[in-house]
A and B are shown apart, each in its own frame.
Chain A
Amino acid sequence: MDTTTQQTTAPPAPAPTTPESKRAARGATRPGDRIFLGLSRGSGIFVLVLMAAIAAFLTYRASIAISKDEANFFTSFEWNPSGLPPEFGIAVLAFGTVVSSVIAMVIAVPVSVGIALFITHYAPRRLGGLIGYVIDLLAAVPSIVYGLWGALFLVPHLQGLYGWLDDYLGWTGIFEWNDGAPRSLFTVGILLAIMILPIITNVSREVFRQVPRMHEEAALALGATRWEVIRMSVLPFGRSGVISASMLGLGRALGETMAVAMVLSSSFDINLSLLDTGGGTFAQNIASKFNEATEMGRDALIASGLVLFVITLLVNGAARLIIARRKEYSGANA
């Protein structure tokens, strides 16, 4: 009785300040909430600490190695970290990594955009869905399997292409071939292209699918052909998406280890003819030299790994920036 009258007549007074209701109002002070918030925030902080630790430890071991390096770390063509004096440099690795990734990108980006366009704009709907599904699965095939296929199937089958390139383009110097096994940076580039194709295709396809239907229909209504629709509405809309997809693929190609190690016949020199064996990449060099490395050798490999880490960070960071920027303006367009 007493309570009901109080309820009906009481003005909307400030909430009573019993300890219990105070806690309820401030949500996160219940012990369960505090523990749970602590756990989940802790996990988030753990991720940050982990990234910092990766950078710190790699830098620490690398600095040990570089301080003992008698040659210039960035320009030397040597890799002899356990020699007396220790001499090693990343020039060859940087060259090989850049060249093989560039070849991979030159092949993979146009082809992937082609496939993505095929899936979204050319193929019958069901076929497109099926192909997209298959490409999804192919993105999950591990690199060691690509490496096995590359070494035992692709390499023997490239003999003909190499001969042809040597016959007709040999005069350029880049495509001179001295009849060695086709285990060169060029083969690595082709294999990397095949490996990153599914990734670039997947992301590009998603972007092309988001092109506003209105843009395409407007172009069609003006009498554009299918190619003109693609050139005027699909590609401009998808450009930044394709760029970031390519960057993600590039990051993958830069860090690829086993497939390169299995296909490349590596050596520590720079060969201007792409078809001749020799050269190496950061990741491949770590995998191949690790077994016989002394402690100093391991530190030197870690130093080269740090360079790879920084390069992939930059590439991926750029890709993320492009994606983030795109989110904003596509939101405004929608």
Chain B
Amino acid sequence: MSHATLTPKPSSLRGATLPKWFPWAVAAGAVVLGLGISTAAGLQSDIQWALIASLLFVLGSYGISAKVEGRRQARDRTATSLVWVAFLMALIPLASLIWETVKRGVKVLDGYFLTHSMGVVADTEPGGGIYHAIIGTLEQVGLATLISVPIGVLTAIYLVEYGRGRLAQAVTFFVDVMTGIPSIVAGLFVLSVWILLLDMGPSGFAGSMALSILMIPVVVRSTEEMLKLVPNELREASLALGVPKWRTILKVVLPTSIGGITTGVMLAIARITGETAPVLLLVWVTNFINTNPFSDPQASLPMYIYLQFANSGGSGAAYDRAWAAALTLIAFIMILNLVARGIARWKAPKTGR
């Protein structure tokens, strides 16, 4: 029994620490002070007192902690509060984006809105719907998927199953580069070939070509990752039985990774569905139903939003339609995303048993 255990004085190995409730107490104090200062100074905005309060919080906790716990602990507390601030700061606009879209979108979003076009409705009047835009989006995205999935999957197969040497390296590099092409540049390319050189008019198909330029690299990347996950033993077993390589790929490798490939394709579809810039250049937009994607302008959800926004003349009805279409678009993309992730979880490649 040494007397060190009897006297509860802090050991020299462990510095003084502030209690757990310390940050909360400082936060409460900062909020009260911030509110007090801003009412005293007659500041109007909510953001201003919040800024004053957070500044007080950071300074206060640093000061007190530096005094009691030392500089290093104080710096740690400052870093913690800055990370929290970054998180909250980012949360506000992102949450507001979703909230505003849902709040303003549900106003006119109903069965009528989904099943009628804008054919006889002036841009500034209430009424009308997005039927023509849904048809256009589905056709354009569908065509783009039809073009890019075979090319993308085959390219990935080449890279994983056959690719050696220079050509494969070049393809890998340029697929990476393609991922970064701005959508408007893809649109300009198709414009310069299809419309300026071949003298074709605007059509859904022209848009699909530009969209597939954006989609191919995404499909290649995700398919490549999935094919790499297929265990080599499966390939070797199949080859050892004398199955030709192409049948091995079609009957063993692809079925094993089909879940992941589907996920990748759906994520790619989700990415191109919202693309507006190439559609603006190549498909234009119309208020009427055009079911033929191979001739004449066609509507699409993103262009519909843009049209309602740009031609509204500030009318509330047009803005309501724009928000409702935005909500539809987000809902469609979110559902695609969730389903894709669901598939990825259920059908993950079985790596050994």
A140 and B334 contacting across the interface, CB-CB below 8 Å: yes
Taking the complex as formed, is A74 at the interface, i.e. its CB lies under 8 A from any CB of chain B?
no
Taking the complex as formed, is B112 at the interface, i.e. its CB lies under 8 A from any CB of chain A?
no
Taking the complex as formed, is B270 at the interface, i.e. its CB lies under 8 A from any CB of chain A?
yes
- Report how far A156 CA is from B182 CA in the complex, Å: 29
The contact string, 1 if C-beta is below 8 Å from chain B, for chain A 42-84, is 1111111011011001101100000000000000000000000
- Report how far A187 CA is from B244 CA in the complex, Å: 59
Q: Which of A297-332 touch B at CB < 8 Å? A: 298-299, 301-302, 305, 308-309, 312-313, 315-317, 319-320
Q: Which 10 A-B pairs have the closest CB atoms?
A: A142-B274, A255-B182, A114-B86, A316-B180, A36-B246, A43-B154, A40-B158, A225-B76, A227-B79, A257-B277
**Contacting residues, chain B, for A113 (C-beta < 8 A):** 86
Taking the complex as formed, is A110 at the interface, i.e. its CB lies under 8 A from any CB of chain B?
yes
**Contacting residues, chain A, for B97 (C-beta < 8 A):** 138, 141, 145-146, 149, 153, 194
**Contacting residues, chain A, for B173 (C-beta < 8 A):** 320
Binds B, one of A8-16, A212-220, A265-273, A282-290: A282-290
Binds B, one of A27-35, A86-94, A98-106: A27-35
Taking the complex as formed, is A181 at the interface, i.e. its CB lies under 8 A from any CB of chain B?
no
**Contacting residues, chain B, for A145 (C-beta < 8 A):** 97, 101, 274, 305, 326, 329-330
| Nearest-Cβ distance from residue A303 to partner chain B, whole angstroms | 10
Interface residues on A, range: 35 or more
Taking the complex as formed, is B38 at the interface, i.e. its CB lies under 8 A from any CB of chain A?
no
**Contacting residues, chain B, for A161 (C-beta < 8 A):** 47
By secondary structure, the A interface counts as: helix
| Besides the known contacts A51-B174, A142-B329, A254-B182, 18 further A-B residue pairs in the complex with CB atoms under 8 A apart | A40-B162, A44-B159, A44-B167, A47-B171, A131-B87, A138-B97, A142-B273, A143-B274, A144-B305, A194-B93, A197-B90, A201-B90, A227-B79, A286-B277, A287-B277, A305-B188, A309-B185, A316-B180
**Contacting residues, chain A, for B322 (C-beta < 8 A):** 148
Interface residues on B, range: 35 or more
**Contacting residues, chain A, for B151 (C-beta < 8 A):** 43, 46-47
**Contacting residues, chain B, for A287 (C-beta < 8 A):** 184, 277, 280-281
Given contact pairs A148-B309, A298-B191, A141 touches B90 in the complex (Cβ within 8 A): no
Taking the complex as formed, is B181 at the interface, i.e. its CB lies under 8 A from any CB of chain A?
yes
Taking the complex as formed, is A155 at the interface, i.e. its CB lies under 8 A from any CB of chain B?
no
Interface set of A (CB-CB < 8 Å, partner B): 24, 27-28, 30, 32-33, 35-37, 39-48, 50-51, 53-54, 57-58, 60-61, 110-115, 117-118, 122-123, 131, 134-138, 140-149, 151-154, 160-161, 164, 194, 197-198, 201, 225-228, 230, 248, 251, 254-258, 262, 283, 286-287, 290, 295, 298-299, 301-302, 305, 308-309, 312-313, 315-317, 319-320
**Contacting residues, chain A, for B162 (C-beta < 8 A):** 37, 40-41
Residue of A nearest to B247 (CB): A32
Residue of A nearest to B104 (CB): A152
| Nearest-Cβ distance from residue B128 to partner chain A, whole angstroms | 17
Residue in A47, A148, A230 whose CB lies within 8 Å of B220 = A47
Residue in B83, B100, B157, B184 whose CB lies within 8 Å of A255 = B184
| Nearest-Cβ distance from residue A187 to partner chain B, whole angstroms | 12
Q: List 26 A-B contacts (CB under 8 A).
A: A39-B154, A47-B216, A50-B216, A115-B90, A134-B94, A136-B337, A137-B334, A138-B94, A141-B333, A142-B333, A144-B274, A144-B276, A145-B326, A146-B97, A148-B322, A149-B97, A152-B319, A194-B94, A197-B90, A201-B90, A226-B76, A230-B79, A257-B182, A258-B277, A283-B184, A302-B188
By secondary structure, the B interface counts as: helix
- Report how far A98 CA is from B192 CA in the complex, Å: 26
Given contact pairs A146-B97, A197-B90, A286 touches B246 in the complex (Cβ within 8 A): no
| Nearest-Cβ distance from residue B272 to partner chain A, whole angstroms | 9
Taking the complex as formed, is B107 at the interface, i.e. its CB lies under 8 A from any CB of chain A?
no
- Report how far A153 CA is from B96 CA in the complex, Å: 9
| Nearest-Cβ distance from residue B162 to partner chain A, whole angstroms | 6
Interface set of B (CB-CB < 8 Å, partner A): 44-45, 47-48, 72-73, 75-76, 78-80, 82-87, 89-90, 93-94, 96-97, 100-101, 150-152, 154-155, 157-159, 161-163, 167-168, 170-171, 173-186, 188-189, 191-193, 196-197, 213, 216-217, 220, 242, 244-247, 249-250, 267, 270-271, 273-277, 280-281, 302, 305-306, 309-310, 319, 322-323, 326, 329-330, 333-334, 337
B216 and A44 contacting across the interface, CB-CB below 8 Å: no
**Contacting residues, chain A, for B280 (C-beta < 8 A):** 258, 287, 290
A47 and B175 contacting across the interface, CB-CB below 8 Å: yes
| Nearest-Cβ distance from residue A77 to partner chain B, whole angstroms | 22
B305 and A53 contacting across the interface, CB-CB below 8 Å: no
B155 and A115 contacting across the interface, CB-CB below 8 Å: no
A61 and B154 contacting across the interface, CB-CB below 8 Å: no
Residue in A42, A117, A141, A153 whose CB lies within 8 Å of B274 = A141
